[in-house]
Amino acid sequence: MQSHRVKRITAGLVAIGLTASLAACASGNPLGGGGSTELGTITVGSQGFAESDILAQLYGQMLAANGYTVKYAPSIGSRETFIPALQDGSIGLIPDYAGNLLYGADPKATATSTADVMAALPAVLKPLGLTISSAAQAQDADALVVTKEFADANKLVTIADLAPIASTITIGANTEFEGRSYGRAGLESVYGVTGWKFKAIDDYGGPGTLSDLLKNNIQVADIYTTTPSIKANNLVVLQDPKHLIAAQNIVPLFNDKTYSVAVANIVDRVSNVLTTEELMSLNEIAAGDSKPSPEKVAKDWLTKMGLL
């Protein structure tokens, strides 16, 4: 999932892709056609990492089970590619992340909570010919994570609880972390967490970050909420009641020609039961020794949840 993490780092560039995509609609079809038609065919895209492939299969299999002909366009890439693909009809639907989608469409956006992000999205997507349906409870967002032992010893539940011990801790994260809105300035202004040391670990919450956390080389780590290592190591995700870190709920993103109430109602059956914990488990299964396909991972889960 490394490409997933890299794309998150470049979220600030997304606005360029969204703006440029309006012109790209007239310049040809980057994926060679196969979008939605009046005959009930929908092409579901994915961004090119395991989680996105699984989400695309969840949406697609639900649509297929309800009478639609479904095609898949996996590994499209970042928003600079998939936004034009939605707009020119190459694909009709793709899973995305609410906060990054909003900031890409509107770099001046300030919403961070799920409710505020979802309320802001329709207006900024409408000029682009795009629509979302309901957000899942599931989020794949940055999170500040500690070991259970450290949480218990210091009575840590929320990010605010770091303030009294901040001068004694080291936070491990990617190099860009300190300068982000939820980095040094945000932690101080929102939660009063100041005076901490920083260790750059450029693996996007991967094995190096985990190793340093478990060895107590760092006491707090930035790890994405659906990373299987959180569950596997009984780590504690510190709560963020003031929404310092923007919500990244999973959202189905449609072009306007594909979207309908009927289609949204089908896809939203997935969103209605997809939690962060369930998505983490799906990622864990996909990364297991047997390396099942995204199609099988999705089918097994949909069957387990009584949706197929």
Least confident residue range of 133-142, 186-195, 283-292: 283-292
What is the per-residue pLDDT across 171-216, written as a single tens digit (0 to 9) for each? 999 999 999 999 999 999 999 999 999 999 999 899 999 999 999 9
Plot region of 33 (φ>0 → left; ψ -120 to 50 → alpha; else → beta): left
Looking at residue 23, what is its pLDDT? 38
3-state secondary structure 207-227: HHHHHHHHCCCCCEEECCCCC
CA 32 to CA 28: how far, in whole Å? 9
What is the per-residue pLDDT across 233-283, written as a single tens digit (0 to 9) for each? 999 999 999 999 999 999 999 999 999 999 999 999 999 999 999 999 999
Which residues of the chain form beta strands (DSSP E)?
Answer: 41-45, 69-73, 93-97, 130-132, 144-146, 170-173, 197-200, 220-222, 236-237, 250-255
Alpha-carbon dihedral sign for residues 236, 242, 244, 249: positive
High-pLDDT (> 90) share of the chain, %: 84
The yes-or-no verdict on residue 1 having pLDDT over 50 is: no
Helix (H, G, I), strand (E, B) or coil at 146: strand
The yes-or-no verdict on residue 21 having pLDDT over 70 is: no
**Full-model pTM:** 0.84
The yes-or-no verdict on residue 123 having pLDDT over 60 is: yes
Radius of gyration of the chain (CA): 20
The answer to whether 128 touches 21, Cβ cutoff 8 Å, is: yes
Q: Which residue has the tokens 């995204």?
A: 294
- Which tokens is 6 given? 């890299």
In the sheet that 250-255 helps form, which strands lie side by side, from edge to edge? 69-73, 41-45, 93-97, 250-255, 130-132
Quickly count: other Cβ atoms within 10 Å of residue 183's Cβ. 18
Looking at residue 288, what is its pLDDT? 87
**Average pLDDT over every residue of 214-221:** 98
Phi, psi torsion values for 236, nearest 5 degrees: -110, 120
